[in-house]
Amino acid sequence: MTPARVRTGHVLRVLSAALVTVATLGACGVPTEGDATVIAAEELPFGLAADAEQPGPSQIAPVDYISDTEIITLYFPSGSGFVAVPRHLGVPVMPLDVVNALAEEPLSGTNPYRSAVGGDDVVGVRVQGGVAAVELDRRFLDLPNSEQRMAVAQLVLSLTGRPGIGQISFEIGGSAVQVPRADGTLAKGTVSRDDFVRLLAP
């Protein structure tokens, strides 16, 4: 076979393959127009229609978020001594939030715990250097000594359970006042949890 005949045969085979390819594409019905064709949902393969109907970001209903809470420990007087009572408070929990929670008397089954801290006994609380200064209302001094001791113990035990508070001082009108410790002695200045831990229920 001569070189000319080889080249001629090769060209004929290439042209034949090209013609077969064009005929095959035409039989498959490949669209030649440039516009998109809309396909009905019932004609889509299984699973595609469901995906196409999923809502976009603007269609998703807003989510109602629940405010975060923190479980804190409050102390209430009972017959056998002060008992620890957990309470959920919204974060961030401020020292005055703890005091206000003490003014609410919790119930545990049929045994109610009373609170020695009244709603108007504390005017404010400020914390500095690990010491919480509790500003008392002037009417606090009108309470019997036993009630003062219970209220002070309740405040000290509950507030010193908070992070960053190790001691408590009591003031009226910005001036330090004496408060009774658990043993009945008076303290002017700061008191700590150790001064009242003996009152905790066994």
Domain spans of the chain, in order of start: 3-59, 69-199
For residue 117, CA distances in Å to 39, 50, 154 come to 74, 61, 7
Residue 191 clears pLDDT 90, i.e. is over it: yes
* 3-state secondary structure at position 159: helix
pLDDT tens digits, one per residue of 46-70: 444 444 444 444 444 344 345 799 9
Would the CA dihedral through 106, 111, 113, 119 be positive or negative? Answer: positive
H or E stretch covering 157 = helix 145-159
| Strand, coil or helix: 147 | helix
Output phi, psi for 170, to 5 deg.
Answer: -120, 135
Q: Residue 44: is its pLDDT beyond 90?
A: no
Give 87-124 pLDDT, tens digit per residue: 999 999 999 999 999 988 776 666 678 899 999 999 99
CA distance 99 to 29: 80
Task: Please give the C-alpha separations between residue 123 and each of 7, 24, 35, 69, 132, in angstroms, as whole numbers.
Answer: 107, 91, 76, 24, 13
**Residues 150, 165: Cα–Cα separation, whole Å:** 20
Residue 87 DSSP class: E
Which pLDDT does position 167 carry in this prediction?
A: 98
Residue 82 and residue 153 in contact, taking contact as beta carbons nearer than 8 Å: yes
Residue 150 pLDDT exceeds 80: yes
Task: Look over the chain and give the mean of its residue pLDDT values, rounded to a whole number.
Answer: 77
Q: Tell me what pLDDT residue 165 has.
A: 98
Among 47-51, 92-96, 148-152, 175-179, the range scoring the smallest mean pLDDT is 47-51
DSSP-assigned beta bridge partners for residue 70: 89
Structure tokens that stand for 12 in this block: 């004929």
The lowest-confidence range among 23-27, 80-84, 187-191 is 23-27
pTM (2 decimals)?
0.66
